[in-house]
Structure 1
Amino acid sequence: MDLLPIKRALLSATDKTGLVEFATFLSEQGVELVSTGGTARMLKEAGLKVTPVSDVTGFPEILGGRVKTLNPYIHGGILADKDNPEHLETLKEHNIAAFDLIVVNLYNFEDAAARGLDLRGAVEEIDIGGPCMLRAAAKNFHSILVLPDPSQYDTVKKELLENDMRVGLALRRDMAVKTFARTSQYDGMITEYLASKDI
């Protein structure tokens, strides 16, 4: 589809710059907000109505936060092709609600490496769920908008206001390109770090 209505968003941000303002804008326009951990707490403290990811998945965050968004209720909602009737039927059959917008940025691994953590400590700073969600949403840009960086909030807000809370395919493709560039850079940074360390 060309113009995608934004009705449901998932927010999970390490860099929370401008997030409250952007989430407030979304909420004021009637967008349902779903969020994880510290992001959900911050948005609730700002007075926003937020559904915790664990309420969506029916399962708590486990393994010290290593597993929270790796779930069909999240990834089914991200990866469903909204132009594919079979996908829509599958969502309905399994009671999965689609997402229209994903706001995710990654654990700051570069900062963790610079702090001189030992190898085990640094490994805990490698984001797993974030890159999975980013890549899934970027792959499915025909049906979802992905935002990997706070610098993009104003551009998206402007487009949404100009198009009655819908966002065009061109911008979704551009954000997908930026997302794959970001996950590629992130993986490259981790690759270099691990290769440089003795066991």
Structure 2
Amino acid sequence: MDNMDPTNGPVKVRRALISVSDKTGLADFAKGLADLGVEILSTGGTAQSLRDSGLTVIDVSEFTGQREIMDGRVKTLHPKIYAGLLARRSDPAHMEVLTEEEIPPIDLVCVNLYPFEQTIAREDVGPQEAIENIDIGGPTMIRAAAKNHEDVVVLVKPECYDAVIEEMNQTSGEVSASTRHWLANEAFAQTARYDAAISAWFSESYEAFPEHRVLAFEKQLDLSYGENPHQRAALYSQVGLDSNVLTGMSKHHGKALSFNNVLDLDACRKLLTDLEGPACVIVKHNNPCGVALGDSGLDA
């Protein structure tokens, strides 16, 4: 089912809120916005980084009239932020509230989250440090902007910056409905993955088989086809695992892998792990049809 309303028109970006942990590509993206006349709101270290790059930035605390408190735990959680994000521009009642409350609309949100997954991956991390890397304001802004993607652009990955700026440069600062819908999809996927990692970390303290288990997966490879040639397929691996069926492998010849090829590779790996020393395994249709040991891989 297509959930995108094709009648939605482009959104003109006049005001952006940027708050990121990963500052990859940040300066160029923000400069691209500024060159298009976009007003930039920002927080803490992000605001300082942008100023260091020579950009004019309005602190969120100045915008809301509320200073950051509790060591930064509360900085964007304010009605002025969320009214500016959630107001439906096509709803006169919503726009009247913005006018009455003197709340400027926010047209673009660029947020990435505290590095929770990277933090808990460290062997020396303690519970308190892990908890402090659970982002609250970031996911809330992302979800608000994504919910109102009819009127707001939301970016959660540096890989998307260039495409959005290129589109805005070609349209005098506008972003199309199709782009906004795709970015909202990416945003909800990102917050779902983030919450899955947090849930998994908490569940480690309890039984091996908890009542609920939430898993996140990321695409590793587009496959040429599924079990049959008319089927589409892709390979995904669980986020957080150290390896997958393709780890340490390289394809030297032949066409793109299919679903059946991946099953054969998995069977090869499982058999090889049961063998000691250099070995060669040949698999067809998921069944070993040749196994050999040797002094080297070539010899086998």
TM-score calculated relative to the size of structure 1 = 0.97
Distance 2:49 2:162 in 1: 20
Show CA shifts across 1:109-134 (max 9, x none). 01110123221221010000000000
Q: What letter matches 1:159 in structure 2? A: E
| Residue equivalent to 1:130 | 138
Structure 1 residue 151 corresponds to structure 2 residue 159: yes
Structure 1 residue 54 corresponds to structure 2 residue 61: yes
Does the CA contact (< 8 Å) of 2:36 and 2:172 recur in 1? no
Q: What letter matches 2:162 in structure 1? A: D
- 3-state DSSP of counterpart to 2:88: coil
Does the CA contact (< 8 Å) of 2:34 and 2:40 recur in 1? yes
Distance 2:144 2:184 in 1: 10
Show CA shifts across 1:79-128 (max 9, x none). 11111111110001001010110000000001110123221221010000
Map 1:160-171 onto structure 2 (within 5 A): 160-171=168-179
Pairing partner for 2:149 from 141, 147, 161: 141
Distance 1:142 1:165 in 2: 16
After TM superposition, which residue ranges in structure 1, 4 or more long, deviate above 6 angstroms? none
Distance 1:152 1:197 in 2: 36
Higher relative contact order (CA 8 A, sep 6+): 1
Map 1:33-112 onto structure 2 (within 5 A): 33-112=40-119
- 3-state DSSP of counterpart to 2:62: helix
Distance 2:57 2:80 in 1: 16
Show CA shifts across 1:108-164 (max 9, x none). 001110123221221010000000000000000001000011000011011111211
The alpha-carbon deviation at position 18 of structure 1 amounts to 0.5
| Residue equivalent to 1:114 | 121
Distance 1:72 1:150 in 2: 27
Show CA shifts across 1:1-43 (max 9, x none). 4111011000001110001001011111110000010000000
- 3-state DSSP of counterpart to 2:140: helix
Distance 2:167 2:67 in 1: 35
Distance 2:205 2:64 in 1: 37
| Residue equivalent to 2:38 | 31
How many residue pairs align between the two structures? 198
When structure 1 is superposed on structure 2, of 177-186 and 118-127 the one drifting more is 118-127
| Residue equivalent to 2:197 | 189
The structure with the largest helix share of the pair is 1
Rg comparison, structure with higher value: 2
- 3-state DSSP of counterpart to 1:93: helix
When structure 1 is superposed on structure 2, of 12-21 and 116-125 the one drifting more is 116-125
| Residue equivalent to 2:268 | none
Q: CA RMSD in A?
A: 0.9
Distance 2:107 2:65 in 1: 21
The alpha-carbon deviation at position 197 of structure 1 amounts to 3.1
Q: What letter matches 1:90 in structure 2? A: V
- 3-state DSSP of counterpart to 2:71: helix
| Residue equivalent to 1:177 | 185
TM-score calculated relative to the size of structure 2 = 0.65
- 3-state DSSP of counterpart to 2:135: coil
